[in-house]
Amino acid sequence: MEKVKMFLVFVLGTLLSGQVFAKDYLISTPNTSLLLTAEPGQKSMFRYYGSRIETADIQSIYASGCAFGSQSYPVFGISTSNERAMAVIHADGNASLDLVVEAVNQYTEADGDVTAIRMKDNIYPFVLTQFYKAYKGTDVISTWVEVENKGKKSVTLYRFASAYFPVNRGDNWLTHFHGAWGAEHMMVEEKLTNGQKIIADRSGLANSHSSNPSFMLTLDGKPQEEYGHVLGGTLAWSGNYLLKADVKNTWLAISAGINEDMAHYVLDGGKTFVLPEFAMTYSTTGKGGVSRAFHRWARMYKLQHGNVERDILLNSWEGVYFKVNQTGMDEMMQNFSALGGELFVMDDGWFGDKYPRDKGNSSLGDWVVCKKKLPEGIEGLLDSAKKHNVKFGLWIEPEMTNTQSELFEKHPDWVLQVEGRPRSTGRGGTQLVLDLTNPEVQDFVFSVVDGLMTKYPGIAYMKWDDNCSLMDYGSTYLPKNRQSHIYIEYHRGLKNVLERIRAKYPDLVLQACAAGGGRVNYGILPYFDEFWTSDDTDALQRVYMQWGVSNFYPSIAVGAHVSADKNHQTGRVTPLKFRFDVAMSGRLGMEMQPKDMNERDKEFARRAIAAYKHVRPVVQFGDLYRLVSPYDNQGIASLMYVTPEKDRAVFYVYKLENFINMTVPGVRLAGLDPNKHYRIKDLTPAKAQKPCSLDGKVFRGAVLMEEGLGMAGLLKGEYASQVLELQEVD
If the CB atoms of residues 317 and 625 are measured against ligand DGJ, the closer one turns out to be: 317
Residue nearest to ligand DGJ (CB): 348
Alpha helices, H only, 477-624: 486-504, 539-549, 576-583, 599-621
Choose the stretch contacting ligand DGJ; rule: CB under 6 A; options: 363-371, 445-453, 510-518, 717-725. Answer: 510-518
Of 657, 628, 655, 670, the residue nearest 713 (C-alpha):
655
Instruction: Give min distance, CB of 438 to ligand DGJ, in A.
Output: 25
H or E, element range at 339: helix 326-339
If the CB atoms of residues 487 and 532 are measured against ligand DGJ, the closer one turns out to be: 532
Instruction: Give min distance, CB of 325 to ligand DGJ, in A.
Output: 17
If the CB atoms of residues 223 and 517 are measured against ligand DGJ, the closer one turns out to be: 517
Choose the stretch contacting ligand DGJ; rule: CB under 6 A; options: 14-22, 143-151, 285-293, 511-519. Answer: 511-519
Q: Which residues are catalytic?
A: 465, 535
Task: Assess 532 for contact with ligand DGJ (CB under 6 A).
Answer: yes
If the CB atoms of residues 253 and 449 are measured against ligand DGJ, the closer one turns out to be: 449
Choose the stretch contacting ligand DGJ; rule: CB under 6 A; options: 183-191, 513-521, 552-560, 628-636. Answer: 513-521
Alpha helices, H only, 374-432: 377-387, 406-410
Instruction: Give min distance, CB of 658 to ligand DGJ, in A.
Output: 30
Residue span 74-113 as binding mask against ligand DGJ, x where in contact by CB under 6 A, dash where not:
----------------------------------------
Report the Cα–Cα distance between both ends of the chain, in Å, rounded: 73
d(CA 609, CA 482): 53
Task: Assess 528 for contact with ligand DGJ (CB under 6 A).
Answer: no
d(CA 77, CA 475): 32
Instruction: Give min distance, CB of 26 to ligand DGJ, in A.
Output: 45
Instruction: Give min distance, CB of 684 to ligand DGJ, in A.
Output: 25
Q: For ligand DGJ, which residue of 35, 416, 508, 513 counts as binding (CB under 6 A)?
A: 513
A 10 A CB-CB count for 479 gives: 9
Residue span 260-299 as binding mask against ligand DGJ, x where in contact by CB under 6 A, dash where not:
----------------------------------------
d(CA 667, CA 724): 13
If the CB atoms of residues 591 and 601 are measured against ligand DGJ, the closer one turns out to be: 591
d(CA 619, CA 684): 15
d(CA 412, CA 401): 10
Choose the stretch contacting ligand DGJ; rule: CB under 6 A; options: 207-215, 509-517, 640-648, 688-696. Answer: 509-517
Task: Assess 622 for contact with ligand DGJ (CB under 6 A).
Answer: no
If the CB atoms of residues 365 and 474 are measured against ligand DGJ, the closer one turns out to be: 365
Instruction: Give min distance, CB of 322 to ligand DGJ, in A.
Output: 8
Instruction: Give min distance, CB of 29 to ligand DGJ, in A.
Output: 36
- Sort strands 587-591 and 558-563 into parallel, antiparallel or unpaired: parallel
Choose the stretch contacting ligand DGJ; rule: CB under 6 A; options: 80-88, 429-437, 508-516, 713-721. Answer: 508-516
Task: Assess 516 for contact with ligand DGJ (CB under 6 A).
Answer: yes
Contact assessment for residue 131 and residue 145, using Cβ atoms and an 8 Å cutoff: yes
Q: For ligand DGJ, which residue of 214, 384, 467, 638 counts as binding (CB under 6 A)?
A: 467
Phi, psi of 233 (to 5 degrees): -145, 150
Instruction: Give min distance, CB of 46 to ligand DGJ, in A.
Output: 41
Instruction: Give min distance, CB of 262 to ligand DGJ, in A.
Output: 27
Amino acid at residue number 27: I
If the CB atoms of residues 417 and 431 are measured against ligand DGJ, the closer one turns out to be: 431
Q: Is 555 exposed, middle or buried, given 0-12, 13-18 or 19+ CB atoms closer than 10 A? A: buried
Q: Under rule CB under 6 A, which residues in 166-185 are in contact with ligand DGJ?
A: none
Q: For ligand DGJ, which residue of 360, 474, 493, 708 counts as binding (CB under 6 A)?
A: 360
**Phi-psi domain of 619 (left: phi exceeds 0; alpha: psi -120 through 50; beta: other):** alpha
d(CA 496, CA 509): 18
Dihedral (CA of 94, 95, 101, 105) sign: positive
If the CB atoms of residues 318 and 581 are measured against ligand DGJ, the closer one turns out to be: 318
d(CA 73, CA 121): 13
Choose the stretch contacting ligand DGJ; rule: CB under 6 A; options: 130-138, 284-292, 491-499, 512-520. Answer: 512-520
Instruction: Give min distance, CB of 513 to ligand DGJ, in A.
Output: 5
Residue span 309-348 as binding mask against ligand DGJ, x where in contact by CB under 6 A, dash where not:
--------x-----------------------------xx
Task: Assess 232 for contact with ligand DGJ (CB under 6 A).
Answer: no
If the CB atoms of residues 177 and 395 are measured against ligand DGJ, the closer one turns out to be: 395
If the CB atoms of residues 281 and 404 are measured against ligand DGJ, the closer one turns out to be: 404
Of 685, 690, 724, 719, the residue nearest 704 (C-alpha):
724
Q: Under rule CB under 6 A, which residues in 395-424 are in contact with ligand DGJ?
A: 395
d(CA 226, CA 627): 9
Instruction: Tell me how many residues contact ligand DGJ (CB under 6 A).
Output: 12
d(CA 364, CA 730): 58
If the CB atoms of residues 258 and 520 are measured against ligand DGJ, the closer one turns out to be: 520
If the CB atoms of residues 435 and 465 are measured against ligand DGJ, the closer one turns out to be: 465
Residue span 368-397 as binding mask against ligand DGJ, x where in contact by CB under 6 A, dash where not:
---------------------------x--
Contact assessment for residue 281 and residue 232, using Cβ atoms and an 8 Å cutoff: yes
113-120 long-range Cβ contacts below 8 angstroms, 24+ apart: 113/27, 115/25, 115/27, 115/36, 117/25, 117/36, 117/38, 117/44, 117/72, 119/44, 119/73
Task: Assess 535 for contact with ligand DGJ (CB under 6 A).
Answer: yes
Q: Calculate Rg over the CA atoms of the chain.
A: 27
Task: Assess 228 for contact with ligand DGJ (CB under 6 A).
Answer: no
Of 225, 356, 285, 254, the residue nearest 639 (C-alpha):
225
Dihedral (CA of 490, 493, 495, 501) sign: negative
Residues whose CB is less than 8 angstroms from the CB of residue 445 and which lie 6 or more positions away in sequence, other chains included: 398, 399, 434, 436, 494, 497
Task: Assess 465 for contact with ligand DGJ (CB under 6 A).
Answer: yes
Residues whose CB is less than 8 angstroms from the CB of residue 145 and which lie 6 or more positions away in sequence, other chains included: 73, 85, 86, 128, 129, 130, 131, 160, 161, 162, 274, 275
Instruction: Give min distance, CB of 573 to ligand DGJ, in A.
Output: 21
Residues whose CB is less than 8 angstroms from the CB of residue 687 and which lie 6 or more positions away in sequence, other chains included: none
Report how far apart, in Å, the C-alpha atoms of 244 and of each of 13, 93, 144, 166 are: 41, 28, 16, 12
Instruction: Give min distance, CB of 567 to ligand DGJ, in A.
Output: 14
If the CB atoms of residues 170 and 428 are measured against ligand DGJ, the closer one turns out to be: 428
DSSP type of residue 594: G
Task: Assess 536 for contact with ligand DGJ (CB under 6 A).
Answer: no
Amino acid at residue number 600: R
Task: Assess 515 for contact with ligand DGJ (CB under 6 A).
Answer: yes
Instruction: Give min distance, CB of 299 to ligand DGJ, in A.
Output: 24
Q: List contacts with ligand DGJ (CB under 6 A).
A: 317, 347-348, 360, 395, 465, 467, 513, 515-516, 532, 535
